[in-house]
Amino acid sequence: MPPELPLLYIKTGCPWCSEVSGFLAEHGIGFRELNVSDDAAAFNAMEHVSGQSKAPVLDWHGRVLADFGVEELKPFLHAQNVSFEDS
């Protein structure tokens, strides 16, 4: 059974969330997305894994990147051995 995809917690109207989601999709990096704006359980899960309430939060198989943009995402992905074209 393949491992579960990384989980990206987002909020409606969050420009960083849109930017990060777009970057991952554009580079073919698989992920699941949970919108915490209208899902209390997802919001609680995001707070639990990240220790805070700001989005986006990426849970990469237990390694967590919280309250970030694409510039912080790139080195995080490289540290997870994820390769992508850096343009």
* Nearest-10 Cα torsion for 33, 36, 41, 42: 30
- Quote the domain boundaries for residue 22: 7-79
Length of the chain: 87
Q: H helices of the chain, where?
A: 15-26, 40-50, 70-79
pTM: 0.93
pLDDT at 87 over 60: no
Query: What value, to the nearest 5°, has the Cα angle with vertex 65 and ends 43 and 61?
Result: 85
pLDDT digits (tens, 9 = 90+) for 51-68: 999 999 999 999 999 999
Assigned domain for 87 exists: no
Q: Is 45 helix (H, G, I), strand (E, B) or coil?
A: helix
Assigned domain for 65 exists: yes
pLDDT at 85 over 90: no
pLDDT digits (tens, 9 = 90+) for 16-46: 999 999 999 999 999 999 999 999 999 999 9
Assigned domain for 44 exists: yes
Provide the token pair at 63: 């390694």
Beta bridge partners of 4: none
- How many domains, in total, are found in the chain? 1
Assigned domain for 66 exists: yes
